[in-house]
Chains A and B, each alone.
Chain A
Amino acid sequence: MQSLTYKFNYDNPENIILSFKGRMDISTAPSLLAKLPRLIKSKKIPSLTINFSEVTYFDDYGALVLFELKNTIANLKFINVSNNINDVLNIVNFNKIEKKPSLKKYRSFNIFVRMGESLLENALSVKYFISFIGGVILSLIYVFFRPKSLRYNDMITCMEKTGVEAIPIVGLISFLLGLIMAFMSSLQLKQFGANIYVASLVALAMVSELGPIMTAIIVAGRSGSAFAAEIGTMKISEEIDALYIMGFDTTLFLAVPRILGTVIVVPVLTLFSDVFAIAGGLVIGVTMLDLSATSYISQTLNSLSLFEVIWGLIKSAVFAFIIAWVGCLRGFETKGGAAGVGNAATSAVVTSIFLIILFDSIFAVIRSYW
């Protein structure tokens, strides 16, 4: 263990000498800093001379000890300072370094200023929000007239990741949801002998409302966040700048294949979700409600119209557009480093879910005036 000893020489009360012996480094600095400044303060030493003649090693932790002593005593002098110690003191800017908190970035505490700042920030973000949707629509029109400009490989990869790979989780969640709905509704309907309407309830609720919403929420969590993280990482590693410089339209290159791919697969996923939920209901109907599979299925088919199914699919296509659009938007907005990517992914999921619910309410209003 490296050691350091120190000794005060009080022979001349006007000029007390503190001599160090040994190493002044990371191993000895913490204990010195814990004792010395307090000792000097308690003894009210007005001026101090530090003798380095027996210091065998000195690094910036040694300089740190001296700096803290300098802030405790008004008059501090050094004697027997070797060239090496002098050099270390110079490379840490010992004589000019100031004991004051570093300049914090300006941040006003005035509530009106903060509100104004936040309003401006949000206004700018809304502007980008709208300009991005404009960019996406223009790119989609461009793709419509020049289908060759679409990156089909990227779109198919996106469809596979967003659609095919999501089938197990969407299926499982929908199956359980159908099961729960059938079970809970049967508790009430049983009392009126209306068991058969469990089939209608599960089918209608899933096809027109819960199927599209549940699927959209799962896709927002799985793929919307993935789009934001992927594009966000590309943004911070300058890949998007590289695309721009090479003359690619970044929206066309990155956003359009994802948006189109998602809009194509999410309605299909929604159909899967509907079928799995009805299967869940069927299990409860057959095992607990004394219904036959045939009667359950025929009641389901009777209660559904083609319009309901298509309405649900249109909704899910709109939700898919929202998820992919918001995911890409948040990706393009990413700033900073790893934390920025995390924020983009979180924000993509939260914004998508909010917009999904908002648009679902709009659909409900439209439906009620249909």
Chain B
Amino acid sequence: MENNIICIKNLIAGYDNDVILNNISFDIIKGEIFIVLGTSGCGKSTLLRHMIGLDKPISGSIIINDVDITACSDSEFQKTLKKIGVLFQGSALFGSMTVGENVALPIMEYSNLPKNVIDDLVKMKLYMVGLENYENHYPSEISGGMKKRAGLARALALNPEIVFLDEPSAGLDPVISAEIDELILYINQRIGTTMVIVTHELQSIFTLAKRVIMLDKRKKGIIAEGDPKFLKDKSDNPFVRQFFNREARA
């Protein structure tokens, strides 16, 4: 389909021949918020690492913006990387740089904006994520929630077409989690960024997503796909209903 920004086809992924995801296929539509969910150890992070090209699959293809990143040339891959931003689970801010410098780094590298203009842009980006006046703080001087937000500002620095977010609200208080969810929605609606989120925070899933896929450790693949509100009550699979209703296994 023309509207698909990411297509995963027959992906087999794993490490050292230990298959974690067996033959999965799905598409992500341009401009949507798409959530990958599942219990711990089901391969969510593995899938994310493959989608952003950090790991190579055993077989199958991952097509981002019509480029198969499993088979393309290095230069094509580099071009594709400029279209994506990633918020890592631990934020991955550079400890030797201030928050402002962290956000400015990709802008300085990949845009032709003059230094004083970049300073203004960094201020705007940090205001967007609620970190006004924190430009000169080092990552070690701010809290975990602030680091997440700074990481998000850095992922959004070049307004990429797709942003991958690994557990964006894990370990944050409910108010900040809700604020981050709101920010994700806002950026998705106003700027049109496609968001691919890996999470198992139910509240965020219901707030953000129209479409999710759920992975399962035993099946090593997708056990449910669709609207989380529908899956919560009407999924055929009792485990999926349990997951969405936060019930313990019988």
A339 at the B interface (CB under 8 A): yes
Do A337 and B140 touch (CB < 8 A)?
A: yes
Interface flags, A38-77, vs B, CB<8A=1, else 0: 0000000000000000000101110110011000000000
Q: Which residues of B contact A338 (CB under 8 A)?
A: 94-96
A193 at the B interface (CB under 8 A): no
A105 at the B interface (CB under 8 A): yes
Q: A93-B127, A103-B136, A335-B140 are in contact. Are A61 and B96 (CB under 8 A)?
A: no
B246 at the A interface (CB under 8 A): no
Of A84-92, A222-230, A285-293, A315-323, the one touching chain B: A84-92
Do B190 and A84 touch (CB < 8 A)?
A: yes
Of A22-30, A167-175, A243-251, A265-273, the one touching chain B: A22-30
Q: Which residues of B contact A29 (CB under 8 A)?
A: 111, 113
Q: Which residues of B contact A91 (CB under 8 A)?
A: 127-128, 186, 190
Do A97 and B124 touch (CB < 8 A)?
A: yes
Contact partner, B124, options A60, A104, A105, A340, Cβ 8 Å = A60
Q: A88-B190, A91-B128, A102-B133 are in contact. Are A60 and B112 (CB under 8 A)?
A: no
Q: Give the CA-CA distance A349 to B196 in the complex, in Å.
A: 45
Interface size on B (CB < 8 Å)? 30
Do B95 and A60 touch (CB < 8 A)?
A: no
Which residues of B in the span 80-111 have a Cβ within 8 Å of any Cβ on A?
A: 94-96, 100, 111
Q: Which residues of A contact B133 (CB under 8 A)?
A: 102-103
B125 at the A interface (CB under 8 A): yes
Do B96 and A337 touch (CB < 8 A)?
A: yes
Q: A26-B159, A59-B191 are in contact. Are A99 and B112 (CB under 8 A)?
A: no
Q: Give the CA-CA distance A92 to B129 in the complex, in Å.
A: 9
Specify which of B114, B117, B124, B125 lies most central, judged by the most chain A CB atoms within 10 Å of its CB. Answer: B124
B132 at the A interface (CB under 8 A): yes
Do A92 and B95 touch (CB < 8 A)?
A: no
Specify which of B95, B100, B136 lies most central, judged by the most chain A CB atoms within 10 Å of its CB. Answer: B95
The residue of chain A having its C-beta at the shortest distance from the C-beta of B110 within the complex is: A26
B138 at the A interface (CB under 8 A): yes
Q: Give the CA-CA distance A335 to B139 in the complex, in Å.
A: 11
Do A68 and B132 touch (CB < 8 A)?
A: no
Q: A30-B113, A87-B190, A103-B133 are in contact. Are A60 and B138 (CB under 8 A)?
A: no
Q: Give the CA-CA distance A249 to B223 in the complex, in Å.
A: 48
Q: Give the CA-CA distance A303 to B80 in the complex, in Å.
A: 71
Q: Give the CA-CA distance A335 to B95 in the complex, in Å.
A: 10
Do B139 and A337 touch (CB < 8 A)?
A: yes
B58 at the A interface (CB under 8 A): no
Q: Which residues of B contact A93 (CB under 8 A)?
A: 124, 127, 132
Do B120 and A99 touch (CB < 8 A)?
A: yes
Do B95 and A97 touch (CB < 8 A)?
A: no
Interface size on A (CB < 8 Å)? 35
The residue of chain B having its C-beta at the shortest distance from the C-beta of A63 within the complex is: B124
A33 at the B interface (CB under 8 A): yes
Q: Give the CA-CA distance A99 to B123 in the complex, in Å.
A: 10
Contact partner, A68, options B120, B135, B138, Cβ 8 Å = B120
Q: Which residues of B contact A336 (CB under 8 A)?
A: 95, 138, 140
Contact partner, B119, options A33, A87, A101, Cβ 8 Å = A101
Interchain nearest-CB distance for B27 vs A (Å): 24
The residue of chain B having its C-beta at the shortest distance from the C-beta of A67 within the complex is: B120
Which residues of B in the span 2-26 have a Cβ within 8 Å of any Cβ on A?
A: none
Q: Which residues of A contact B128 (CB under 8 A)?
A: 60, 91-92
Q: Which residues of B contact A99 (CB under 8 A)?
A: 120
B121 at the A interface (CB under 8 A): yes
Q: Which residues of A contact B158 (CB under 8 A)?
A: 26
Q: Which residues of A contact B139 (CB under 8 A)?
A: 337
Q: Which residues of B contact A97 (CB under 8 A)?
A: 120, 123-124, 127
Do A60 and B121 touch (CB < 8 A)?
A: yes
Do A60 and B159 touch (CB < 8 A)?
A: yes
Q: Which residues of A contact B159 (CB under 8 A)?
A: 25-26, 59-61
Do B96 and A30 touch (CB < 8 A)?
A: no
Q: A26-B158, A99-B120, A337-B96 are in contact. Are A60 and B140 (CB under 8 A)?
A: no
Specify which of B94, B120, B138, B158 lies most central, judged by the most chain A CB atoms within 10 Å of its CB. Answer: B120
Q: Which residues of A contact B100 (CB under 8 A)?
A: 102
Interchain nearest-CB distance for B28 vs A (Å): 21
Specify which of A25, A26, A104 lies most central, judged by the most chain B CB atoms within 10 Å of its CB. Answer: A26
Do B96 and A339 touch (CB < 8 A)?
A: yes
Do B136 and A26 touch (CB < 8 A)?
A: no
Q: A339-B95, A340-B95 are in contact. List 13 more A-B contacts (CB 8 A).
A: A33-B114, A60-B124, A64-B113, A64-B124, A84-B190, A92-B128, A93-B124, A93-B132, A102-B135, A103-B133, A103-B136, A337-B96, A338-B95
Closest 5 CB pairs of A and B: A337-B95, A339-B96, A92-B124, A93-B127, A30-B112
Interface residues of B (CB under 8 A from A): 94-96, 100, 111-114, 117, 119-121, 123-125, 127-128, 132-133, 135-136, 138-140, 158-159, 186, 190-192
Task: Give 15 CB contacts A-B under 8 Å.
Answer: A25-B159, A30-B111, A33-B113, A33-B117, A59-B191, A60-B121, A60-B128, A64-B113, A64-B117, A87-B186, A91-B128, A91-B190, A97-B123, A99-B120, A236-B140
